[in-house]
Amino acid sequence: MKARAPHFQSCNVLEVTAEGRRLWQFSVGKDSLKATGDLRVEPGQTLPKKLVAKEWQTLIRPRLDLGWLPAEHAFIRAVQLPSADAAELPGMVEFQLEKISPLPVTHIVWVAEGIPHPDGKSQTALVTIAPRDRVETVLRDLATDGYVADAFDVAILRELRGVMPAGDSVWVLVESQVTSAQALVGWFVGGVWRDVSLFQLPVGAVSATTLVRCLNQTAWAGELDGWLAGLPPVQVRVRPEEAAGLATALQAWSGQPVQVEARADRSELAAASAQARLKANPTALVPDEVSARQRAAFVDRVWMRSLGGVFMTYLLAVFVYLGVLNWKKYQLDELKGNAVGLARQYTNTIQIREQVAVLQEQVGLKFAALDVWQAAVEELPPSLTLTRLDFKKGQQLDLTGTVPADSQSEVTTYSKKLQAAKANQQLLFSKVAVERVDATRAAVGGATWTIKAELKKVEAP
């Protein structure tokens, strides 16, 4: 048998009938169970995926998904055993399986729950047996609808477990389907459930006759075993439309009045199933290998979806990165274009500035030439004759002339006046020097002279 998986935080219970499906939802507290949903789904419609699909959130908030196994697929037997710990019950029942199972033990799945006797020395084990192939078929049918059942329970057994007998009695719970009917019969004698059996009945009036025959067989077996001395009162839970005929047959059989009650509320039974499976056997009636396969498939699905999510996130990040990269590249190209335009403008500006400087220099040289000419003429003494004025490269002035032999000192005076000459309130020359006074090349009674001057500054006025 399988161990209980702890810490379930929610539970679903699904019932499938010819009229459709009904899904109950419960939230699981520490010591409580609270109903959170009751959904009816018509035939042909699918169960809401958000309610039944197992996604990665189930790893964080475990959920137990139960299914109600149709009573027509189940066998229920009661076995009297010594009192023992709940963990030892499966091993004790296993020794009885070959005797109580209608099928070979390799072809069944089963689950047992113990009911202590008043004396505390014994217990009644209610054993639910189901054919393995039928269970696997139901699992596949539910999985096709998107519901992966972790365990199964039988609603009619859960209804019997909710019964609180006041004394010796025979409880008959009848569940009718379209093509079959089942009757769960429990014999409560001496404060103990002595026998619990699930009988398959035909549909129609003959079902009462078949049920009476089954009750007789159990009564004879009880008399032989010594736990039944006489027929106890009969309690019947059945649909109202079936109550009259069944009550008449059972009253004739027992010779006592038959008390008829309505069937238990299905929502209460769903809550009882959830509580029973949450406390123990959360994989009841599901083969071990099927549970392992379902778990592996769930983990693989979560991993694949996680990897898919990571891959999609990676692709999204790549697309965002490429988009940002292209945007930045566009901005860079735009900046480069602006830089090329600014560089061109800068080059043009430099060229214009140089051209302006050349023009300014030319204008300055023109004015400087005028200033030099003016200074050279105005400061020239009457005794000196200027024969040549050479303005070289706008920086140097060469003056050449003649002077009478007795007036050669005037050349020095002339150079001093040039040294002091001003234009625009600034000295015109930075350096003025008499280069030579040569009497050998002049006419008789005179001399030639040469003065060189360096222009201090050339500016346009």
Q: By C-alpha distance, which of 350, 360, 351, 402 is closest to 381? A: 402
**Paired tokens of 405:** 């032999």
Q: Where does the pLDDT of residue 401 fall: very low under 50, low under 70, confident under 90, or very high at 90 and above? A: confident
pLDDT at 445: 64
CA–CA dist 216, 201 (Å, integer): 15
Give the domains, in start order, of the chain with CATH numbers: 368-455 (3.30.1360.100)
Q: How many CB atoms lie within 10 A of CB 288?
A: 11
Confidence band for 187, pLDDT divided at 50, 70 and 90: very high
80 close to 94: Cβ distance less than 8 angstroms: no
- What confidence category does residue 380 fall into, taking pLDDT thresholds of 50, 70 and 90? confident
Lowest mean pLDDT among 115-129, 158-172, 228-242, 349-363: 349-363
Average pLDDT rounded to a whole number, residues 408-436: 82
Structure tokens at 97: 């399986």
Q: Which of 374 and 99 is assigned the larger pLDDT?
A: 99
User: Please, what sign has the CA dihedral across residues 328, 334, 338, 341?
Assistant: positive
Q: What predicted TM-score, i.e. pTM, was given to this entire model? A: 0.68
Q: With pLDDT > 70 as the criterion, what percentage of the chain qualifies?
A: 95
Give the pLDDT of residue 2. 45
At 366 the pLDDT is 78
Q: How confident is the model at residue 442 (pLDDT cuts 50, 70, 90)?
A: low
d(Cα 294, Cα 303) in Å, to the nearest integer? Answer: 14
pLDDT number for residue 199: 93
Asked whether the predicted pLDDT for residue 268 surpasses 80, the reply is yes
Residue 4 confidence (pLDDT): 44
